[in-house]
Amino acid sequence: MKRDYCIPELSVLRLCLADVLRCSGQLDDYDDVIYYGELS
CA dist., res. 11 & res. 18, Å (int):
18
Residue 33 CB, nearest approach to another protein (Å): 5
**Least distance (Å) between residue 19 CB and another protein:** 5
| Contact residues for another protein, defined by CB under 8 A | 1, 3, 6-7, 9-19, 21-22, 28-40
* Shortest Å distance, C-beta 1 to another protein: 7
3-state DSSP assignment of residue 10: strand
